[in-house]
A and B are shown apart, each in its own frame.
Chain A
Amino acid sequence: GAGVSQSPSNKVTEKGKDVELRCDPISGHTALYWYRQSLGQGLEFLIYFQGNSAPDKSGLPSDRFSAERTGGSVSTLTIQRTQQEDSAVYLCASSPQQGSLGGLSSNYGYTFGSGTRLTVV
């Protein structure tokens, strides 16, 4: 697609339920990132994929959080047994290759999706 697509745009879930958030990166982008943006905060790094492998999972806040990427394309972020503190906007970004530095051209670098707003009630 032309951009990074995330679904759903908004999700309301009950505390204790599991949720899956989807990210469809730009075709051909091998690097994929998940970030979390809590209310009033900047973005917090969660996980980085290069192809289907995740060499950097250092930002995942707990073992309730996991992510996978298949076919070097779509990625799913799963949150199990959701808690109210999980409420946030979850943003995905993709990049053509490791080492791309977010160039100003829309055809090069670090492109973000519009995020999924997760509300845990």
Chain B
Amino acid sequence: AQTVTQSQPEMSVQEAETVTLSCTYDTSESNYYLFWYKQPPSRQMILVIRQEAYKQQNATENRFSVNFQKAAKSFSLKISDSQLGDTAMYFCAFMMGPSTGAGSYQLTFGKGTKLSVIP
């Protein structure tokens, strides 16, 4: 079974600064996908960024980027130029790839990191 670990229950960052959220995972699979989701107080899970394990290049989406270290099974999220609207819970998640034969494409989540952006 896959596990996802987020070791930072809470973090804070000054507005306009950069913050990095950590995530490690454990799997024996070689084909999988990793995600960071944001959950604001509205409770809806919003996809921030996605990384395919077969891609060596780190994914980037505007102010959000990841540092994907496949050998170390590490997948950290960097938020640059932090904004007040970035305040939320952030969840790291894992999904097995289609070639594994797992048909449900369910996500396995970490316990989350509560990020507070301070004005």
**Contact in complex: A43, B107 (CB < 8 Å):** yes
Do the beta carbons of B109 and A43 come within 8 Å of each other?
Answer: yes
Name the one of A35, A89, A101, A112 contacting B105, with C-beta atoms under 8 angstroms. Answer: A101
Given A56-B104, A101-B95: A42 touches B47 (CB 8 Å cut-off)? no
Count A-B contacts at CB 8 Å: 73
Contact flag A113-B104 (CB < 8 Å), given A42-B91, A42-B112, A102-B50: no
Contact between A104 and B35 (Cβ–Cβ < 8 Å)?
A: no
Chain B, 32-48, CB within 8 A of any chain A CB: 33, 35, 42-47
Asked if B45 and A91 make an inter-chain contact with CB atoms under 8 angstroms apart, the answer reads: yes
Q: Can you list 7 A-B pairs with a CB-CB distance of less than 8 A? A: A45-B106, A55-B103, A59-B106, A93-B45, A102-B33, A114-B43, A117-B43
Q: Which residues of B contact A (CB under 8 A)?
A: 4, 6, 33, 35, 42-47, 49-50, 61, 91, 93, 95, 98, 103-112
